[in-house]
Amino acid sequence: MAAIREKEEKLKELKLKQKEELATLEAELNQLKLNSKDAHKIALKTPKGTRDFSPKQMAIRKVLFRTIEKCFERHGAETISTPLFELKEVLTGKYGEDSKLIYDLSDQGGELCSLRYDLTVPFARYLAMNKIQKIKRYHIAPVYRRDNPSITRGRYREFFQCDYDVAGYDSRIADAECIRIVSEILSAVDVGSFIIKINNRKILDGMFEISGVPTEKFREISSAVDKLDKMSWEEVRKEMTDEKGLDGKVADSIGDFVKLKGGLDLISHLEGVVKETGNNSLLVGVNEMRAIIELCHEYNVTDKILFDLSLARGLDYYTGVIYEAVLTDDKVGVGSVAGGGRYDNLVGMFHPKGKQIPCVGVSIGIERLFSILEAKAKGNVRTTATDVYVASAQKGLSKHRIALCSNLWDAGIGAETAYSENPKLLNQLQHCEVNDIPLVIIIGESELQQGIVKIRDTNSREEVDVSRENMIETINKKLNQKRG
């Protein structure tokens, strides 16, 4: 034991010494870079697949985020937050072929970490770590993928996801509610007509079994099927046979299935296939999908769904129903704008005793929705919450303007004034028009002597004199009228 402790202490000492040496070298290197003649040649650009957002863009995003949050909250969800990066082993092996897109970080402090790829796997880890049996949660946060970015299609390496998940319930009611949530959000943000494609991993597995796909190839063939929204069947078939080694007849059998779309009529057709083949996976999946489609009628979203056997969703962790929302009159070419499904086995991968917790969820594609709303935005977009601008008509009144701002802030009213000591009145009024500030308080020597302020409506340019005592009440009334 003493020898072991001695070795452990020696190892700890060497690690500490190495850490100190690395820190010293890094500091010296950074200093050399700063002193270098080429330091000023730094490329002024954001990294590939990322971007800055202007105040106008952020104003649009803020409205979009709040619309989504309100929907999640209306359905009873509470919010959580998880770290931007996870231990690499937490993320490894959860995404199938997409695992190659995970961003790995340099070793810091003896832990191998990676930037989170989505919000679902961290949520599963959170459930297992905290021994949570049931929760309905939402999480809005950035995720990272080492993908080939396509700015025009809303595909980035850093982007936000807006996730809603129900954990602890193996319920078709929860499955159908996720479809309702997608429908509510897409209707509320007004991005045009859309359809929510639905399918079931159990049906896909049943299709593969009936077609003769080897069990060990289910997930990679599923990943190939998932490309049918971007590639023709001929191209997908070629990938199955040439790259994944599938027999041509097996691929053709899959092709007969994935061309089918519909609703309860397709359910009836598949029930006939079950009678012919006796396939249990297909039977369970078809029964689940019948229940979900019938519930969608009660949720009043029947006209928004399409049962589509070509929908596969490439991630490995899905176990049951899967969803994907696409715009049907999309002129921007952004592709799917929401997706998700049931993942009943993911939490068990982290739980110390392998305890499974059934989960279902959906993720809204905020960046793709934003690209549409940004293209549609016209006219001025308010970028601040300023409701009142305090202006002066004469010089030397900056302290009086500041005092009025303080009064407004104390009353909870958004206000601002010029930082200049002696601003021109015309410039102040133009600032209000450009920034869509609804009301202006104007003061001069005359108003100060009379104990009044002049309140101006920016749009109508109507002005009214009001006593200082009635100023807050009058402003609140005018603002409430404007807000309807």
Cα atoms found within 13 Å of the Cα of residue 86, Cβ hemisphere only: 22
Residues ≥6 apart with Cβ < 8 Å to 11: none
Residues ≥6 apart with Cβ < 8 Å to 380: 434, 435, 436
* C-alpha pair distances (Å), 196 with each of 70, 263, 297: 21, 12, 14
Residue 145 annotated as binding site: yes
Residue 313 annotated as binding site: yes
CB-based contact 226:314 (threshold 8 Å): yes
Tokens of 270: 């598949």
Nearest partner of 313 among 73, 120, 59, judged by Cα: 120
CB-based contact 367:374 (threshold 8 Å): no
- Residue bearing tokens 């899959």: 254
Residue 133 annotated as binding site: no
Residue 161 annotated as binding site: yes
CA dihedral 233, 237, 239, 242 (to 10 degrees): -150
Pairing state of beta strands 452-457 and 439-443?
A: antiparallel
Nearest partner of 334 among 144, 192, 177, judged by Cα: 192
- Residue bearing tokens 């097996």: 250
Q: Alpha-carbon distance 202 to 182, whole Å?
A: 22
User: Which residues are documented as binding site?
Assistant: 118-120, 145, 161, 165, 313, 317-318
User: Which residues are documented as binding site for L-histidine?
Assistant: 118-120, 145, 161, 165, 313, 317-318
